[in-house]
Structure 1
Amino acid sequence: MRPIFQGDLYGATAISDPYPAYRRIRDAGPAVWSPRRGLWLLGRFEDVRAALRADDILVSGRGVAANDLVNSAENPITLTSDGETHARRRLTLIQPVMPGPLKALRPRLEAEAEQLVAALSGLERFDAMSRFAAHLPVTVVAELVGLNAAGRKNMLRWAAATFDALGVMNARGIAAMPRVLDLGRYVRGLSRSSVTPGGWADRLFEAAERGDISQAEAQAMVIDYVGPALDTTILAVGEMVWRLATTPGAYDQVRADPALIPGVVNESVRIGSPLRGFTRLAAEAYPVGEVTIPQGERVLVLYASANRDERHYADPDRFDVTRNPRDHVGWGHGAHTCVGMHLARLEMEILLQALVRQVERIETGPAKRIRNNVLQGFKTLPTRFVRAAA
C-alpha cells in the first residue's frame, strides 16, 4: 500500500507556503505518491540524499522537469545528462568555478561588496533583492560568463522562466514557454565570435574546438551557467538578509563573531532552499523503505523538504547562526551537486563580511515572495542598512 499525498505542490497554497505540505509528505512515508501530478515524492533528508547518490537508477538524462513537454525536448546540458556524458560535460563546465580560479576573483568581489554596502548604507530604504542580492551576479558574474548585450539583458528573465518550465505545465509553466524558447534560439545562435574572449562561454567554445564537447553542447551548456549564477544565489542572499534582520540577536552574534559567517551561509541556504526540487526518472525499480517505486515512474526529489526534516535537524524551522549545517542539500548532493556552489558560497560570504564591517543593524519591511514552480524566495525586500559608527 503506497502512501498518498492528496494535495498539489504546484497549487497556489503550496507555492505560497510549501512547508505544511512538505511536513505532510514526510509524515506520510519515505516515498509518497501524488495522484494529482502522477509523481512520487521524496521529502525526508536521508531518502533525498540517498536518491541523489543513486544517479545510475534515478536518472536525469530523461529530463528533470515535472512535465513531459520539457522532458521530451533535446537539450544537451549538464543538468539533464548521466554517466560518462554528464562527467564529460561537468568537467568542462566546472573549471572556472572551482576554488582555485575563484581565489583570484575574490579581491574583485570584495571590492565590489565593500563599495556596494557603503553606497546602500547611505540610503533611507532600498530593495535588497534588486539592489543588494542581485548586484554581484548581475554585474561581475554576468560579465564573467561573457555573453553579448542581448544575453546580459535577458539573463534574469530567461533563468526565472526556465525554472517555471521545470515544474508542471500550469499557468506559470505555460506562460514561461515563450521565454524558454527564446533562450533556446539565443544559445543556438551563439558562436565563439559572439561571446567575450576569455569568458566562461568562450571556454565552452574553446573546448568544442578541442573536441572535448560538441558545438551544440557548447551552445546549450551556456544555460548551465545562467541559473546557478543568478536566481538561486540572489534568492539565497535575500533569505540571509531577511533572516539576519528578523531573527532576534542573530546579526549581533555574527558581528561579534565573524567566524560564524561560513555557517550562516549554510544555514541561510538550508532554511531558505531556493530550489524546491527536481525530478528524476526511475530507470529500474527503486526501493525506498517499505515502498518500491516502479521502473519508468517519475520521482520529485524535494530538497526544500529535506532541509526542514525534523528527523535530521533539531528545530528545523528555526534560523540558528551557530548551526552550520554543512550537509544540507540546498545545492544538491552527489554527482549533480550544483556546479556554481563554490561561487555562490563565496559571494554570500563576501557580502556578509562587508555587512558586518560597515553595518550596525539591518531593518526590513513587508516583503513580497516570488511565485515560481521551482524557485522560492523573495521578489522584493524593503531594507535599510544602519551604518556602524566610525
Structure 2
Amino acid sequence: MVKLLSQLGSSIFAEVAEWKRQAVANGMDVIDLGIGSPDQPPSLKVRQALSEAVLREDMYAYPALKSGLPFREKAAEWMRHRFGVELDPALEICTLAGSQDGLAHLAMAIAERGSIALVPDPGYPIYSASLALAAVEPYYMPLVEEHHYLPQLEAVPDEVWQRTSFLLLNYPNNPITAVADLSFFEKLVAFAKQKQVLIVHDLAYSEMGYDGFQPPSILQVEGAKELAVEFHSLSKSFNMAGCRIGFMVGQQQAVAALSKLKANIDYGVFDPIQEAAIIALDEAMQDEHFVKASTVYQQRRDCFIARLHEAGWHADAPQATMFVWAKLPKLKNGDRPDGSWSSRMFAQRCLAETGVVVIPGDAFGAQGEGYVRIALVEGEGRLIEAATRLGQFVKRMV
C-alpha cells in the first residue's frame, strides 16, 4: 500500500502548501496563484436553485435510487447546443462527482492490468495516478514547444501500440495551456481507428478559450463516438468546483463500464447539486446576460501578461484555460548543472521572497522542468501586484 501511495502523484503540492505556511508565518502578504480553484461563486440563479433544492424533503435519498436522468438530459442538450453533438442520455452519458472522479476510475473500468495507456508529459497528475491504481503502465508522450505541444503519435513504437488500452489527451491543456483544432482531432480519430485504441479526451476547459477561439469536442469528428470518450466539468466554466459535478460522454461500452464501476463505489451526486448544475447549463444556453468564464479570464490574462512583460518577464499569453505556462527566464547561480534554475528552486525562492505562489512545472512531468504554472485565480488588482513582484524578483536574479 505504501508503494502504491508513492505512485499517486507529485508531493509538490504538499511542499508548496508548507512553503506558503512558512511565508505567512514570516508576515508575507501571500498571493496564491498555485491551485486552479475559481475565486468567484456560481451565478445567483445557480445558488438560488441549490438553496431551494436542499430545503426540499425529497432530496435526501440516495441519488442512485433515482434515475439521475434529468441532469444527463440537460448535459445532452448542452452538448447539442455547444458542439452540435447528439447523445443518448441513458447510454452515452455518465454523471460524475467532478471530472477527476471519472478520470481517477476510468482505467480500472476499461483497461486490463499490465496493459499500457498513453498519457501526456506534462500532464495533470491524476492521469498517472489513475494508472497506478489500475496497475496499468504509463507511456509518456512528450509535449514540446517545437511540435506546438501536440503528441507525435507516429513516434510511439509498434510494440507499445500493441499493448495500449487507451490514449489520453486534454486540449485546452492543463498545465501547458496549448490548444488543438478540429483538424488535429480528425487525424487523431483516424490514427486511433487504425490502431484500434480508445481515445480519452479531457475537455475541462471547453468554455475558456480566448480571442474568439472556441475549443472543439472530439465528438464533433464523424465516427468519434465509436472510439472516444470525453470528460466535461462544471468546476471551472461555471465556478462550481466545490460542488463536484461533471460528466463523461461518448462510446457506449466505456460509459457503461465506468457507470458499473461507480455503482459499486458511490451512490451518485447529491440531487440538489444536480439540480443546480441543470440550471447552470440551462443558463449558459438561454440567458443572454450570462457572463462566460472566458470573458473574465481573458481580461485577467491580458492585464497579468501586460504587467509581467512590462516588468521584464516575457511569458507567452495563453489561448485558453485559467493558467499561464511560463518559461523561466535565464537567471544566475541556479541549482542545475548548467547553472540555470530548476522550476522547484524558482517556485520556492519566489514564494519566500515575493509572497507569490506558483507551481513548478516538474510537478506535471519531466517535460515541465524549466517552466512554472501560474493560475489566474485572483482579481485584476492582485494579479497586477503579483506580476509586479514576479518581475522585480526576476530582475534581481538576472
Higher helix share: 1
Task: Tell me if TM exceeds 0.5.
Answer: no
What TM-score does the superposition give when structure 2 sets the normalisation length? 0.28
